[in-house]
């Protein structure tokens, strides 16, 4: 899988996760997963530029 495909996949995962986040009492595990996905996305974008 090339980096652009990975970026699209991660962006989709981030979108899904944000859609599942409750308005209140967000579980730490969900926030950590979101943070990790966003970091990976930033890293991949930096690599291709």
Backbone angles phi, psi at 22, to 5 degrees: -75, 155
What local confidence, expressed as pLDDT, does residue 43 receive? 97
What local confidence, expressed as pLDDT, does residue 44 receive? 95
Instruction: Provide the whole-model pTM.
Output: 0.87
What local confidence, expressed as pLDDT, does residue 23 receive? 86
The per-residue pLDDT for range 1-49, each reduced to its tens digit, is 799 999 999 999 999 999 999 989 989 999 999 999 999 999 999 999 8
Instruction: Find out whether 21 and 35 touch, Cβ atoms under 8 Å.
Output: no
């Amino acid at each position: 899988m090339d980096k652009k495909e990975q970026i699209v996949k991660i962006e989709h995962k981030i979108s899904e996760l944000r859609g599942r986040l409750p308005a209140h009492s967000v579980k730490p595990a969900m926030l950590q997963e979101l943070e990790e996905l966003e970091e990976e996305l930033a890293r991949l974008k930096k690599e291709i530029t």
